[in-house]
A and B are shown apart, each in its own frame.
Chain A
Amino acid sequence: MKHDLELSLQAWLDGELPEKEAQQMGAWIARDAEAGALLAELRAIKEFLPAHEMPRTVPDTREFYWSQIQRRLQQPEIAAKPASSSWLARWQAYLLPLTGVAAAVCALIVTTHHPRTPAFDEISATSDLMETVTYHDQSGQMTVVWLQDSSPIAPLSAAPNVQSTTKTKDEADEEVD
C-alpha cells in the first residue's frame, strides 16, 4: 500500500478528510482487506490509549507544592502586572481611570437621589463555637452564609440513602442499649 494512501486512511479514521474524499475512502476500506486490517490496528490504538492513561499524582504535598508557586507569584516582576504595549492597552490605561471617575460620580448622584437599603448585610455570629463566613453573589442573586464547623448542627446525621460511616453519639448509645 502506498504511504500516501495509508496516511489518507489514518486521516479518514480521525475525521480529517473532506466529505467527498471520506466517502471514497470509506468505500475503498470496505472492499480492501489490507486496508481493513491496517484500519483495525490504528483504531485499536486510538481507542485504547486514552482509556488506559497512567494516572499520576504530584509527588509533593499540597502545602509544599503551593508554597513553591506562591513564592514565585509574590516576586515583584510577577506581582506587578506588566503593562501591555498594544494601542488598546494604552487607550485603556488613559481612558479607564477617567471612566472610573465618571462612574463614581454617577453612582454618587444615583445613591443620594435614591437611597436604598443595601443588598448585603453583615452577619453577627452569636456563637463562640461557630465561625461563619458570609458573601454575596450579585450575578447569582444569592447571599451565602457558610458555617465553618457545622457538625453540631448539621440537619441530618446522615445523608438520605447514603450510608454513613460515622455514628452520632445517640446512635452509638442506642446500640449499646
Chain B
Amino acid sequence: MSMEPDTPALSEAQLVKLAQKGNMAAFEELVARHRDKIYARAYSMMRNEDEALDLSQDAWVKGWQRLAQFQGDSSFVTWMTRIVINLCLDQLRRQKRQRTESIEAMAEETGGVERHMPVVNPNPTQGLERVELRQRIDRALAQLSHEHRTVLVLHEFEELEYKEIAVRMRCSIGTVMSRLFYARRRMASLLAGLKRENLQ
C-alpha cells in the first residue's frame, strides 16, 4: 500500500501544502492544472511559442524553489503568474538591449502618435463568431510593440495598478500612463470594424 495521496483528487490548498513539504507528485499535479494559463500569459507577452514554453518552464522551476514563500495571500495561480510575468519582463529587457528600435516605435514609446488618432466609433459591419473575434483581438495585440502590449496585458488582463506596473517595468508612472493610453487607442483603431454590440 502506497502512502502517497491521490493528487488528482486533492484541493489546491492540499497540493500546495504537500508540495511545500517536498512532494513532487503534488507539484506535478499543480503544474498540470495551471500550465496552460501560465503558458498563455508568457505567450501574450513574448508572442513566440518557443520563448513562451521556455519561460513558463523557468517559472515552474522558480516556483518550486520559492514555494516556502507562498503564504496563500493570493491564489497559487496568481502567484505563479507574477513569477512568469517577471521572467518575461527580464527577457524583454535583455532583448531590448539587442533590438534595433525603429523611429516609429520610438515615437510610439514617447506617446506622440496617438494624439493624431481620431476617436473611434465602432461601426456595425459584420457579425463575428466568438472565435473569430478573439483572433481579431489577438492579431491586433501582435501589432503593438512589446512595451505597449506589456502594459496592456499587465493592466487589462492582470489588473495591476499603475504603480505596480511601473515597478515591474522599471519606468515612471507617467510612462505607464502614456503607454497604456497609446495602446488602448491603437487597439480601438485596429478593431474599428467590429460591431458595436461586440464591444459592449
B36 and A148 form a contact (CB under 8 A): no
Nearest residue (CB) in A for B174 is: A7
Residue from B9, B32, B130, B157 in contact with A49 in the complex, judged by beta carbons closer than 8 Å? B157
Bound form: Cα–Cα A144–B11 in Å: 13
Are B36 and A56 neighbours in the complex by a CB distance under 8 Å?
A: yes
Mask, B161-200, CB within 8 Å of A = 1, is 1100000000000100110110011011001000000111
Taken together as a complex, chains A and B put the C-alpha atoms of A133 and B120 apart, in Å, by 61
Chain A residue numbers with a CB within 8 Å of B119 are: 34, 37-38, 41
Are B32 and A133 neighbours in the complex by a CB distance under 8 Å? no
B56, B121, B157, B199 interface centre (most CB from chain A within 10 Å): B199
B178–A7 CB distance below 8 A? yes
The answer to whether A45 has its CB under 8 Å from any CB of chain B is: yes
**Cα distance, A144 to B180, chains bound together (Å):** 50
Determine whether the beta carbon of B133 is less than 8 Å from that of A3.
no
* Chain A residues with CB under 8 A of B2: 131, 133
Q: Is B12 in the interface zone, CB < 8 Å from A?
A: no
Within 8 A of A (CB), among B125-153: 130, 133-135, 137-138, 152
Q: Tell me whether B181 and A66 are in contact (CB under 8 A).
A: no
Q: Chain A: how many interface residues by the 8 Å CB criterion?
A: 49
Interface of B, secondary structure class, is helix
Docked-complex contact A41 and B120, CB < 8 angstroms: yes
Q: Are A65 and B64 in contact (CB under 8 A)?
A: no
**How far in angstroms is the closest Cβ of chain A from B65?**
6
What does the 1/0 interface line of A124-153 toward B look like (CB < 8 Å)? 010000011111010000001010100000
Contact A146 B5, beta carbon cutoff 8 Å? yes
For residue A30, CB closer than 8 A to chain B, the reply is no
Residues of chain A touching chain B, judged by Cβ–Cβ distance below 8 Å, are 3, 6-7, 10-11, 14, 16, 34, 37-38, 41-42, 44-46, 48-50, 52-60, 62, 65-66, 68-70, 72-73, 78, 81, 122-123, 125, 131-135, 137, 144, 146, 148
25 contacts between A and B (CB under 8 A): A10-B184, A37-B121, A38-B119, A41-B119, A42-B181, A44-B199, A46-B156, A48-B137, A49-B152, A49-B156, A50-B156, A53-B157, A57-B40, A58-B39, A59-B49, A66-B31, A66-B32, A68-B57, A69-B57, A70-B24, A123-B1, A132-B1, A133-B4, A134-B3, A144-B5
Complex A-B, nearest 5 residue pairs according to Cβ-Cβ distance, in ascending order: A56-B40, A54-B138, A146-B6, A44-B199, A45-B184
